[in-house]
């Protein structure tokens, strides 16, 4: 069975990735679909569609079918998945024929949705389709020894959700998932700019602000940047200057929620595993792990070592693809 092509799909709220054991990451595109509202036709998927967000004429909308860690629009999600399988198939050539596929689905998806995702991947030509929990995939992708009886702590901060899990001996010992991730930080920034400056900015601008001058709650040299939006009073375009300390205040609440989720998971840890956590610490995955100062802030707050995975944005996809090797140990968690 393991001689067949194995591919892993990370169906994320923000990004969808495909990993093949032989070729590594073969596809990495935003989870966005452009649709013609009149004909209901899918016009573009991924990067092409993301570039259309907020800029399209009336009858074309760019939508994100997954939101807050759940599938918001199921039909569009399956259409996106099909296009993605097609694109990945081209990259992989003939070797994708009848692959074994593991899909990491959003944590909030229902059993009906999971089943349907499984079916739709199968209808794209997969031989077997397995599902896996995101934190387990993240841990495997971050090279943690998940099959050993020691505590592996993973914090995956994605677009829609933050998931914290303690994994030992291939299974989840304790975990926590909150619907706060990178998207919420973007939204916090949009609200701040609207309230303080009466200026409307889009999601992509907010994300850029977060990446450039967004900081976790640590002391840092203040940075600033010029941004453009639409003045809510005059309706005209306007430029303002934002500083990193005001952005820090804007995202503070959300960051504290993330910290709280980590704390409460660690508190649930069985005492026998606590020693491992003090030694091994916590590993961060997901795009949110890249927020400036996050690693430093978290290690100050939870007083155990905090590491960022070498490839935080790819860890889940890599782990999903590799999980078949350990699947017999993961069957409990994969449901
Ligand atoms: N340098 C950065 N600084 C801060 N945030 C970042 C950075 N790079 C990416 N992000 C954020 O990471 C998020 C995407 O991460 P990721 O691809 O892991 O999410 P996802 O897996 O699609 O979502 P989920 O796991 O919730 O379904 C986005 O919110 C993005 O803005
Ligand atoms: Mg993810």
- Three-state DSSP class for 158? coil
Residue 14 alpha carbon, nearest atom of ligand 1: 22
Identify the pLDDT of residue 1.
38
Q: Which residue has the higher pLDDT, 72 or 45?
A: 45
Identify the pLDDT of residue 95.
56
Q: Are 28 and 311 in contact (CB under 8 A)?
A: no
Q: Which pTM value belongs to this model? A: 0.92
The C-alpha atoms of residue 99 and residue 5 are separated, in whole angstroms, by 5
Backbone region of residue 11 per phi and psi (left: phi > 0; alpha: psi in -120 to 50; beta: other values): beta
Residue 290 has pLDDT above 70, yes or no: yes
The C-alpha atoms of residue 251 and residue 291 are separated, in whole angstroms, by 11
- H/E segment holding residue 285: strand 282-285
Identify the pLDDT of residue 94.
59
CA of 288 to the centre of ligand 1 (A): 5
| Domains of the chain and CATH, by start | 6-137+316-334 (3.30.420.40), 144-180+251-310 (3.30.420.40), 182-248 (3.90.640.10)
Give the least confident one: 57-61, 83-87, 199-203. 57-61
With a Cβ cut-off of 6 Å, ligand 1 is lined by: 12-15, 69, 106, 134, 158-161, 181-183, 207, 210-211, 214, 286-288, 290-291, 313
CA 107 to chain centre: 11
Confidence of residue 299 (pLDDT cuts 50, 70, 90): very high
pLDDT digits (tens, 9 = 90+) for 165-212: 999 988 889 999 999 999 999 999 999 999 999 999 999 999 999 999
Residue 51 has pLDDT above 70, yes or no: yes
Identify the pLDDT of residue 109.
78
Q: Are 176 and 265 in contact (CB under 8 A)?
A: yes
Ligand number nearest CA of 162 is 1
The C-alpha atoms of residue 74 and residue 66 are separated, in whole angstroms, by 8
The C-alpha atoms of residue 47 and residue 70 are separated, in whole angstroms, by 21
Q: What is residue 62's DSSP assignment?
A: E
pLDDT digits (tens, 9 = 90+) for 92-128: 875 556 888 999 987 777 888 888 888 888 888 888 9
């Amino acid at each position: 069975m393991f001689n067949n092509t194995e591919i892993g799909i990370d169906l994320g709220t923000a990004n969808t990735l495909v990993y093949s054991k032989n070729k590594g990451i073969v596809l990495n595109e935003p989870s966005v679909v452009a649709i013609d509202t009149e004909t209901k036709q899918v016009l573009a998927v991924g990067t092409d569609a993301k570039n259309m967000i907020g800029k399209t004429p009336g009858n074309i909308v760019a939508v994100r079918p997954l939101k807050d860690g759940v599938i918001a629009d199921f039909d569009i999600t399956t259409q996106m998945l099909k296009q993605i399988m097609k694109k990945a198939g081209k990259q992989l050539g003939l070797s994708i024929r009848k692959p074994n596929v593991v899909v990491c689905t959003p944590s909030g998806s229902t059993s009906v949705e999971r089943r349907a995702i499984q079916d739709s991947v199968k209808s794209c030509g997969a031989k077997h389709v397995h599902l896996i929990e995101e934190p387990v995939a993240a841990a495997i992708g971050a090279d943690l020894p998940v099959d050993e009886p020691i505590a592996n702590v993973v914090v995956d901060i994605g677009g829609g959700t933050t998931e914290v899990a303690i994994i030992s001996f291939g299974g989840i010992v304790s975990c926590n998932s909150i619907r706060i991730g990178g998207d919420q930080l973007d939204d916090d920034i949009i609200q701040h700019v609207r309230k303080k400056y009466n200026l409307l900015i889009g999601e992509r601008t907010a994300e850029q602000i977060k990446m450039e001058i967004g900081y976790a709650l640590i002391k840092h040299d203040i940075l600033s940047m010029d941004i453009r939006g639409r003045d809510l009073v005059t309706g005209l375009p306007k430029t303002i200057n934002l500083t990193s300390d005001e952005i820090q205040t804007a995202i503070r609440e959300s960051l504290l929620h993330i910290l709280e989720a980590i704390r409460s998971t660690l508190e649930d840890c069985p005492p026998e595993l606590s020693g491992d956590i003090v030694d091994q610490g916590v590993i961060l995955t997901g795009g949110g792990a890249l927020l400036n100062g996050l690693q430093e802030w978290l290690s100050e707050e939870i007083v155990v070592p905090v590491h960022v995975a070498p490839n935080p944005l790819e860890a889940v996809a890599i782990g999903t693809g590799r999980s078949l090797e350990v699947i017999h140990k993961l069957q409990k968690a994969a449901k």
